Amino acid sequence: MPKKKVRHILGLSGGKDSTALAVLLHKEIPQMEYFFCDTHKELPETYEYLDRIEARLGIKIQRLSAERGFDHWLDVYGGFLPSPKSRWCTKQMKIIPLERFIGDDEAISYVGIRADENRDGYISTKPNIKPVFPFKEKGLVKADILQLLEDSGIGLPEYYRWRSRSGCFFCFFQRKYEWVMLAQEHPDLFAEAVRYEQEHSDGRQYTWTQGETLQELLARRDEIIAEHHKLVEQRRRKNNVSSLAEALEAILDEQDEVLPCLACHL
């Protein structure tokens, strides 16, 4: 029997690192298959960024969707909102669609973890999907990634002004400042996130962030913004960080208690 061809795959999340990896590899590996696991709950800026990547690199990004959407799975999980401890959303909407896409084929999965990061590369545990880490192999760090994006003409995603990661607009990995900014940039999406907190078939209350509802959080808007600006200024003075986006990312990363998942935020 002829040996089956190995597939080369690169998952784009709408984030900067996976995009820079596509910039780096799109000529070197012309047979690369690009995909994006669409939860249908992503930010409009993410969809715009994916279009920009396709146009600039001349590649096609396949949109993979979960068999049923978020609302279906929310029902299946009894109205229980996903959380860092119960990441059913990643499994149902990011990992399973990817595994269906690959099936039993042998595949090399290119993962955009940088040489200056200490993160795990988990995307799928299927033995036929072998992850590789070109940035790590080549010793490429954040400054290289930013340079790649700038040189390609793609630049950073628009949401970078106020949020440091791709993913669902209601992602529970969001920090308090990012929720406040979601309310400012996309009041309709913020209102939808509030509805998810309030409307449950079982009548119980779940919150996206620990310890308070989104409405309580928004009532503290001025306090959260003031605190954030203070931290950004401290960080800029201390580390000589030049751009606001960089300071934003550094501050927000420091506030993470749990590492977010790579399938959504690379």
Which positions touch ligand SF4 (CB under 6 A)?
39, 82, 87, 89-90, 93-94, 167-168, 171, 173, 261, 264
Q: Which of 134, 167 has the CB closer to ligand SF4?
A: 167
Residue closer to ligand SF4 by CB (options 97, 134) is: 97
- Give the residue at shortest CB distance from ligand SF4: 167
CA torsion angle for 50, 51, 52, 57 (degrees, to 10)?
90
Other CB atoms within a 10 A radius of the CB of residue 5 amount to 9
Helix (H, G, I), strand (E, B) or coil at 129: strand
- Among residues 107 and 168, whose Cβ is nearest to ligand SF4? 168
Give the sign of the dihedral formed by CA 76, CA 80, CA 44, CA 154: negative
Give the 3-state secondary structure of residue 13: coil
Q: Return the beta strands (E) in the chain as ranges.
A: 7-11, 33-38, 61-65, 107-110, 129-132
Three-state secondary structure call for residue 145? helix
Tell the smallest beta-carbon distance from residue 41 to ligand SF4 (Å).
Answer: 7
Considering only CA atoms, which of 127, 126, 135, 103 is closest in space to residue 266? 135
Q: Which residue, 57 or 252, has its beta carbon nearer to ligand SF4?
A: 252
Is 128 or 213 the residue whose CB approaches ligand SF4 more closely?
Answer: 213
The CB-of-207 to ligand SF4 minimum distance in angstroms stands at 14
Whether 107 contacts 6, CB under 8 Å = yes
